[in-house]
Amino acid sequence: MSNNDNSLVIEELAFAYPDGNQALYGVNLKIKRGERVALLGPNGAGKTTLILHLNGILSSGHGRVFVAGKLVDSSDKAALKQIRSKVGIVFQDPDDQLFMPTVGQDVAFGPYNMGLRDSELNKVVENSLALVGMLEYKDRPPHHLSFGQRRRVAVATVLAMKPEILVLDEPSSNLDPASRRELADILRSLDITMIMVTHDLPYANELCERALILSGGVIAADGKTSDLLKDSALLKKHRLELPVGFTL
């Protein structure tokens, strides 16, 4: 399979922070177009470090990252801008992404800065809000929305950029059961490559057929999500736990 058949290819990625903390020790990974993959692992495993390499926020002196067949090269500013439009990250706290007076202006922010205007811009905004069931809230101030609604708008701000890869950081955190289910339905409906960083193992099982366990800066397991979650010894070794009473 060529790199063009994959949304993401990572080759021998290693990274150490300036204080000497080695976060990644040679990660190799391929994710096909349209795959939904859960990235699991204990705190401090290197999950955030790995994700921040996908759009060049962090760059490594060792290894290579390709998004949609293009090398992520932090020294090439024009190429990096293009890559960053292809990797959309939805942060854990939606308020980190919502800062405009209205929902519609928040969703328009990225496409506007990429050059869209007028009816073309409005169409992208409305389509993105419709995908997450929030079109009727287009003219509302984000701070008037519930937490779950704000998270859906945060997803829309990323979808408006038409990314190759949608990265979600703990998407189910702080959601009530109804909001959790509504978001799952939305994410399941999207035709996009998805990487979900989560400690919520049932949510990972519900939405992602494939899962990776990142532990100690390396990929310790890669397989069908349900198979990994049935391996109690594997979960215990990497400080992962299913909720009491949850069965596969």
Residue with tokens 């496409």, as numbered in its chain? 111
What average pLDDT values come out for the chain (248 residues) when binned by 10 residues?
Answer: 78 93 94 97 90 88 90 86 90 94 97 93 97 97 96 97 95 94 95 96 97 95 97 95 86
Domain that holds residue 196: 35-47+86-237
Q: How many domains is the chain partitioned into structurally? A: 1
- The token duo for 5 is 């058949």
**Structural domain includes residue 9:** no
pLDDT, residue 3, reads 54
204 within a domain of the structure (yes/no): yes
CATH no. for residue 185?
3.40.50.300
In a domain, 77, yes or no: no
The answer to whether residue 56 sits within a structural domain is no
The rounded distance, in Å, linking the Cα atoms of 216 and 46 is 7
Q: Percent helix, strand and coil across the chain, each rounded to 5?
A: 40, 25, 35
Return d(Cα 169, Cα 47) in angstroms, integer.
10
The HSE-up count of residue 118 (CA atoms within 13 Å, CB side) is: 0
183 domain residue, yes or no: yes
Is residue 225 included in any domain, yes or no?
yes
Q: How confident is the model at residue 1, as a pLDDT?
A: 43
* pLDDT tens figures, 121-132: 999 999 999 999
What per-residue confidence (pLDDT) applies to 247? 82
